[in-house]
Structure 1
Amino acid sequence: MDWKTLLCEKRQREHTSVGNTSDPRNEFQKDYHRIIGSASFRRLQDKTQVFPLDKSDFVRTRLTHSLEVSSFAKSLGQMIFQNIIIYRDREDVNEEVKDKICNVLECAGLIHDIGNPPFGHFGEDSIRDWFTRNLNKLEFKGQKIDKVLTEQMLGDFYHFEGNAQAVRLLTKLHFLIDKNGMNLNYALLNTIIKYPVSSVQINKNSGDIKDKKMGYYYAEEEIFDAVTNSTGAIGCRHPLAFILEAADDIAYKTADIEDAVKKGFISYQQLLLELKNVYANKCVDEGEKKEYNRAVEKLELYYNKAIENKVSHPEQNAVQRWIIYVQGVLLRCASYGFTSNYNEIMSGNFRKEILSVSRGNAIAYALSDIAFKYVFQSKQIYKLEISAGTIIEYLLDKFANAAVRYDTDEKMSPLDKRLIALISDNYIQAYKIHSAEKDESEKLYLRLLLVTDFICGMTDSYAKRLYQELNGII
């Protein structure tokens, strides 16, 4: 792969008007403004990052998380490609290419979670679980739906992913001018496809990170092929997907700990003890151990400084300062992970996360495992997730049953007609455009996708409010 091809500026719909020669922005900078001006991006401000339906104004939302990922991704791009320009003899990398790469990464950070449903990752789990339990019960014209749809169509629901939904939203559902969604450039679209495999190609035991999850639906297979054929990233990840992934990991691993301390899930002393006594043995070599021990020492140092300076909340102050320090460490480590494996990444043969092959691996592992232990397994989060799951379950029960008979010659009940009428006109229009001239099974598949489109487009508050209204709770 080479950067001239990887930074493909092609779009689904090419510009037909004469370009504005006074516009100094490149094609990648133009997409930044398309994204931040979109309703889909604004809705991220009311979507869960970790704490569903949380009333605090401190903890992260999908919007603030996406802004952090965007910033980290751009910073990583600058660090990595400045290093490549200085120390590697690559004819296809120069300052102009570096700037374009940073523009792509900045935009990719903003949209990497744009397809996620309400209530965070538990929302994804709830959707997958509902379809796994119900597709063999729903009937269409006397047949069970799991006997009507193809293996890949079924797999799209059984393995539902916010990543695949993002591709769908950006290329079809964001109906502003025509059927091409936001009409973003192909380099950007390819960067957000972390898993360039379909639902029938998932292989969690392959040892290759790209096979871990589904990256696109059957409905977007043609778009996926067009994008990857144009960028040259065929059968592998786009190199910038590794950088975006690292930026995402750094953002959520550090933020989860900061938010957890702020909300009282874990104390400074508990965090320090965990770091000292549980995770230090995860280091695989002296370099990683030195980086890890230095980080632990910094946490104690910041606490002692806060005590010395008589800060009102020394524990929280120490953790917040430490999080900033750790972010810097992990950015530096991710940069090393990419540059030290550059040739393998560019040949499409690199199979791991770039943080996992750096000195930051033990720190990153400790952060995520501590958050899982103290936050994600807490009774408070379980109760919030049960509430969120109840809402998702109810909405799918109602709307999926209605969608099965919609746009067919089968009679719909007055209730089902009203339920379909609640779905966004944009999503209905997208369904009608893309279902035209399709056979019955594919139309059924697209109608079920219409339901997930509708639910994924909801904010946490809207999903909760719609659930209450449909149940007569005022």
Structure 2
Amino acid sequence: MEWNKLLCGDRIRPIQKREGSQDLRSEFEKDYHRIIGSASFRRLQDKTQVFPLDQSDFVRTRLTHSLEVSSFCKSLGQNIARKILTQIKDESFDPSYQQDICDILQCAGLLHDIGNPPFGHFGETVIREWFKENLPKLRFSKDIDGSGAGSAEGRPLTEILNPQMQNDFYNFEGNTQALRVVSKLHYLVDEHGMNLTKALLATIIKYPVSSLDVDKKNPDICCHKMGYYYADRELFKDIEDSCGLGGRRHPLTYILEAADDIAYRTADIEDSYKKGRISFDMLVRELEKRCYEDQSDHVYRDLIGTLKYRYGKGIEHGVSDPGGYAVQNWIIAVQGRLIYLATDSFAEHYNEIMDGSFGSELLEGTEGKHIVDALGEIAVKYAFNSEPILKIEVSADQILTYLLDRLVPAAIGYDTGNKLRPIDSRMMSFISDNYKKIYHIYSEGKTEDEKLYLRLLLVTDYVCGMTDSYAKRLYQELNGLI
């Protein structure tokens, strides 16, 4: 792979530069302003990160998490670009690329969760499980009165949809949805969504494989999830060819993934402390336990030593909560350490990353792997298994299952010439006119099979665009609860 192609500033719809324009921004800087001014990005403020949304102004949402990831992305980009120039000395890497890399990564951090459905990663699980259970039961027939749509009559959908179409729903991912949001669903000027640069689009595609090629047992992490829908296959090919990827992951994607890991692993601990799920003493005990269980005990000794040192500083400064002071300052120190380790790993594996043979996370095989794994295990024990989280997951299952139960059968018969049942017409009326417009643009000239597939995607597009509050409110209104 070559940097001059990897940093492709082209857009799906070319923009004609106005003569005499005084706009001095690079194409990647323009991407940044398109993102932060979008409603799709603003909706992240009302989507769960870990803890259910409440009145606290401290606990993170998807929006604040994305801002943190964006910040770490930029820091990593600066460090790594500097190493390429001064240590690796890749002659093909022009000094001007340093700023481009930072701008692309900063934007990628903002976008990495923009396709997530309401209620966090559990929302993704509910959608996947719903389709695994229900898609084989659904049928479609083109009747005069529409009575066969979604009913016991007609052909099973699993006989109509090709294997990739079906697997798209069985392997549903917020990462995959992000590409649809920014390239199609965010209807700004036309059907090309935000019309972002191809280098940025390539960076947010974490897994460059279709749903047919997902293999969670493959040692190459690039195959563990799908990266694009059947509906977006031509877009993916365009991005891949323009950036010279050849079926491989964009090098900046490794940096984005590392920034995300650093942000959420450390934030989960800090939020857990603020929510009273874990105390300073409990955190120390958890780390001490790993000293005896893990061969990398020196890593945990360093972590414990730094944590206790920060606690002592809190007492020395006379703060009211030395434990909180220690945890927050310790988190910052851990983040700095992880950024350093990820930077060194990128430099160490530079040739493998550039030839597409590197199939691990940047922190894999480093001390950072022990750190993020420990933080993740502690978060699962004290945060993810806490009562508030379990309650929101039960509620999420109820809400999303209810909506899919009613929206999918309605969408099956939509735009087919069939007469929809009154309840189905009403359910379809809730879907945004912009989403419907995108469906009609991209379904024009397609086969009936692909149109059916696109109607199912219309439902997941609508559901993923919901905030937590909107999904909850719609469920309550449809059930006469408010």
Q: TM-score, normalised by structure 2?
A: 0.95
Match for residue 178 of structure 1 among 190, 194, 204:
190
8 A Cα contact 1:52 1:388, kept in partner: no
8 A Cα contact 1:239 1:346, kept in partner: yes
Q: How does 1:425-440 map to 2 (within 5 A)?
A: 425-440=433-448
Q: How does 1:48-127 map to 2 (within 5 A)?
A: 48-127=48-127
Match for residue 347 of structure 2 among 325, 332, 339:
339
> What residue identity is the alignment partner of 1:90?
D
8 A Cα contact 2:209 2:223, kept in partner: yes
Which sections of structure 1, spanning at least 5 residues, go unmatched?
Answer: none
Counterpart check, 1:223 vs 2:235: yes
Superposed CA RMSD:
1.3
Q: Show the counterpart of 1:458.
A: 466
Report the secondary structure of 1:65's partner residue.
Answer: helix
The total of aligned residue pairs comes to 470
Larger mean CA deviation between 37-46 and 259-268 belongs to: 259-268
How far did residue 157 of structure 1 move? 0.4
8 A Cα contact 1:171 1:180, kept in partner: yes
Q: How does 1:138-153 map to 2 (within 5 A)?
A: 138-141=138-141, 142-153=154-165
Q: Show the counterpart of 1:132.
A: 132
How far did residue 95 of structure 1 move? 2.6
Report the secondary structure of 1:200's partner residue.
Answer: helix
Q: Deviations over 1:309-367 (max 9, x none)?
A: 22111111111111011000000011011111001100100010001132211111101
Q: TM-score, normalised by structure 1?
A: 0.97
Q: Show the counterpart of 1:413.
A: 421
Match for residue 383 of structure 1 among 377, 391, 398:
391
Q: Deviations over 1:104-142 (max 9, x none)?
A: 000000001100001000010110011111101111110
Q: How does 1:185-196 map to 2 (within 5 A)?
A: 185-196=197-208
> What residue identity is the alignment partner of 2:23?
D
8 A Cα contact 1:53 1:119, kept in partner: no
CA distance in structure 1 between the aligned counterparts of 2:299 and 2:344, rounded to whole angstroms:
13
8 A Cα contact 2:53 2:61, kept in partner: no
Report the secondary structure of 1:136's partner residue.
Answer: helix
CA distance in structure 2 between the aligned counterparts of 1:255 and 1:19, rounded to whole angstroms:
47
Q: Show the counterpart of 1:365.
A: 373
How far did residue 304 of structure 1 move? 1.7
Runs of 4+ off more than 4 Å: none
Q: Show the counterpart of 2:249.
A: 237
Over 3 Å counting, the alpha-carbon distance change for 1:34 and 1:283 in structure 2 is farther
Counterpart check, 1:298 vs 2:306: yes
Q: Deviations over 1:4-41 (max 9, x none)?
A: 01001111100134355421111100100000000000
Residue identity (%): 57
Larger mean CA deviation between 371-380 and 257-266 belongs to: 371-380
8 A Cα contact 2:291 2:301, kept in partner: no
Larger mean CA deviation between 76-85 and 377-386 belongs to: 377-386
8 A Cα contact 2:115 2:465, kept in partner: yes
8 A Cα contact 2:288 2:300, kept in partner: no
Report the secondary structure of 2:211's partner residue.
Answer: coil
Over 3 Å counting, the alpha-carbon distance change for 1:209 and 1:83 in structure 2 is same
Q: Show the counterpart of 2:475.
A: 467
How far did residue 283 of structure 1 move? 4.8
> What residue identity is the alignment partner of 1:97?
Y
Q: How does 1:25-36 map to 2 (within 5 A)?
A: 25-36=25-36
CA distance in structure 2 between the aligned counterparts of 1:74 and 1:280, rounded to whole angstroms:
36
How far did residue 279 of structure 1 move? 5.6
Larger mean CA deviation between 141-150 and 74-83 belongs to: 141-150
CA distance in structure 1 between the aligned counterparts of 2:59 and 2:295, rounded to whole angstroms:
30
Report the secondary structure of 1:135's partner residue.
Answer: helix
CA distance in structure 1 between the aligned counterparts of 2:134 and 2:390, rounded to whole angstroms:
23
